[in-house]
């Protein structure tokens, strides 16, 4: 991707020399103005949100797991048509077509590739050889050490407060562990929504913060208004962790559907998963044999049973029901705990400007 150019609205484009009060290893590495990342949320982080985040000076990341390769290429080109700033694409490292998607990223000049799971050494090397910055998301120190040894340029560290699939270790415990363990830039995720959090993360040694729920709750987000309203109404206690969606710990808003899932037995859950697998197969264009191969890829190197893999078919369709179709009664709403602290829907530009102003005030208020 070429060096970011000044924007049409007169604000400086992101870049190593772009104006920022908080230059960090992250801003220098990827060429953004502010050490903020909008995470790649499935069905949420589409071209509109990603380009708005990028134009605001943050690193916007496009979610590709629910897209076909052709849809991914179209989405990348749409983002590029909306912004001259750097942006990224989030990939599933265990997807059978991961290399095809990597080729799209390289061909289209995307600046950053992020991963929800640790990519292979070979995939990292292929991206880096093409000049793409590689930033995996990890949830444990040993995973950070592994991808750093394989050549990752930075890592996003998500603590247990984060939305979606999550671990049990809080950000305030996990972040310093990872910062002390690796020499590459560390981006903190899980529990961040304002400038005070940015200053706290920088004090821990992070190079920036990544936020999902906070960017989901902006006026640039395509999430239906009725769903955003549910987030804004939620208290901290309304955000729960359940394993009933796909067999793995998943943080989301508590709802009638979540309660029903937790009451249902394994047989009912598996039957529901089969129906959702059939729906996702039709939506994605995958054959049953391809889906079985994807399941085998998920099993590789992991202690997962076939029942758990089948349950994983719940996730994309249950998320689509809420995040695209607006059916809070039929879908799940992945959420960080910070949903209970958010009460407005600013634009991405307003949000980023506010966070950076808050960070400046918080820094100035520190003793000395």
Residue 286 has pLDDT above 60, yes or no: no
CB atoms within 10 A of CB 357: 12
Q: Are residues 36 and 83 in the same domain?
A: yes
pLDDT digits (tens, 9 = 90+) for 156-193: 999 999 999 999 999 999 999 999 999 999 999 999 99
In a domain, residue 11? The reply is: no
Same domain for 127 and 145, yes or no, is: yes
What's the pLDDT tens digit per position in 121-144? 999 999 999 999 999 999 999 999
pTM over 0.85: yes
Which range marks the domain in which residue 190 is found? 25-222+342-365
Query: Is 228 domain-assigned?
Result: no
Question: What's the pLDDT at 12?
Answer: 37
Residue 264: per-residue pLDDT: 75
What value, to the nearest 5°, has the Cα angle with vertex 67 and ends 63 and 71? 110
Q: Are residues 78 and 192 in the same domain?
A: yes
Let me know if residue 227 belongs to a domain: no
| pLDDT at residue number 38 | 98
Q: What letter would DSSP give residue 237?
A: G
Q: Say whether both 243 and 359 belong to one domain.
A: no
pLDDT at 19: 45
- Report CA dihedral (66, 68, 74, 80) to the nearest 10 degrees: 50
Whether the per-residue pLDDT at 311 is higher than 70: the answer is no
Residue 3 lies in a domain: no
How does the average pLDDT of the chain come out, rounded?
88
Judge whether 5 lies within some domain.
no
Task: Name the residue among 82, 26, 19, 92 with its Cα closest to residue 59.
Answer: 26
| Sign of the C-alpha dihedral computed for residues 39, 43, 44 and 47 taken in this order | positive
The total number of structural domains that make up the chain: 2
Categorize the per-residue pLDDT at 246 as very low, low, confident or very high, splitting at 50, 70 and 90: confident
Q: Please check whether residues 189 and 288 belong to one and the same domain.
A: no
128 and 89 in a common domain: yes
210 within a domain of the structure (yes/no): yes
Asked whether residue 269 falls in the same domain as residue 211, the answer is no
Same domain, 154 and 92: yes
Do residues 351 and 220 lie in contact, with contact meaning Cβ atoms separated by under 8 Å?
A: no
Q: Do residue 243 and residue 209 come from a single domain?
A: no
Q: Quick one: average pLDDT of 104-114?
A: 98
CATH number at residue 196: 3.20.20.70
Flag the least confident range among 217-231, 239-253, 293-307, 340-354.
Answer: 293-307
Q: In angstroms, rounded to a whole number, what is the distance separating the alpha carbons of residues 260 and 271?
A: 14
In this prediction, residue 341 has a pLDDT band, given cuts at 50, 70 and 90, of: very high
| Arithmetic mean of pLDDT, 300-316 | 62
- Kindly state whether residue 12 falls inside one of the protein's structural domains: no
- Residue 263 pLDDT exceeds 90: no
pLDDT of res. 6 = 35
| Mean pLDDT score, 324-344 | 95
Residue 14, domain member (yes or no): no
Same domain, 360 and 315: no
Is residue 203 domain-shared with residue 142, that is, in the same domain?
yes
Indicate whether 213 pLDDT > 70. Answer: yes
Percent of the chain with pLDDT over 90: 71
285 and 350 in one domain? no
Q: Once rounded to an integer, what is the mean pLDDT over residues 79-94?
A: 96
**pLDDT tens column, 312-333:** 666 788 899 899 999 998 889 9
Pairing of strands 59-63, 87-91: parallel
CA 223 to chain centre: 15
**Residues β-bridged to residue 63:** 90
């Amino acid at each position: 991707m070429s060096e970011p150019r000044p924007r049409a609205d007169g604000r400086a484009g992101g870049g190593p020399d772009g104006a920022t009060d908080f230059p960090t290893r992250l801003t220098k590495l990827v060429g953004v103005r502010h050490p903020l990342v909008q995470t790649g949320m499935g069905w949420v982080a589409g071209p509109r949100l990603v380009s708005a985040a990028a134009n605001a000076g943050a690193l916007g990341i496009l979610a590709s797991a629910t897209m076909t390769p052709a849809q991914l290429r179209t989405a990348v080109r749409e983002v590029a048509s909306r912004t001259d700033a750097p942006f990224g694409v989030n990939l599933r490292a265990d997807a059978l077509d991961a290399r095809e998607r990597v080729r799209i990223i390289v061909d289209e000049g995307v600046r950053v590739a992020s991963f929800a799971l640790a990519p292979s050494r070979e995939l990292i090397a292929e991206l880096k050889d093409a000049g793409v910055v590689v930033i995996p998301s990890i949830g444990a120190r040993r995973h950070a050490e592994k991808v750093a040894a394989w050549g990752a340029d930075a890592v996003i560290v998500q603590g247990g407060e984060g939305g979606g699939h999550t671990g049990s270790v809080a950000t305030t415990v996990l972040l310093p562990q990872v910062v002390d363990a690796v020499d590459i830039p560390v981006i903190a995720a899980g529990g961040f929504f304002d400038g005070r959090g940015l200053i706290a993360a920088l004090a821990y040694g992070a190079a920036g913060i990544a936020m999902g729920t906070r960017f989901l709750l902006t006026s640039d987000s395509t999430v239906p208004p009725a769903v955003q309203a549910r987030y804004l109404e939620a208290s901290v206690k309304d955000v729960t962790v359940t394993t009933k969606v796909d067999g793995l710990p998943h943080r989301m808003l508590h709802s009638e559907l979540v309660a029903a899932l937790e009451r249902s037995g394994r047989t009912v859950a598996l039957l529901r998963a089969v129906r959702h697998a059939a729906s996702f197969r039709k939506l994605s264009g995958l054959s049953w044999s391809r889906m079985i191969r994807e399941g085998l890829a998920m099993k590789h190197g992991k202690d997962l049973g076939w029942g758990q893999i089948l349950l994983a078919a719940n996730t994309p369709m249950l998320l689509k029901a809420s995040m695209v179709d607006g059916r809070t009664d039929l879908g799940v709403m992945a959420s960080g705990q910070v949903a209970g602290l958010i009460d407005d829907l600013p634009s991405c530009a307003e949000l980023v400007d506010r966070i950076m102003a808050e960070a400046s005030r918080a820094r100035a208020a520190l003793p000395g």
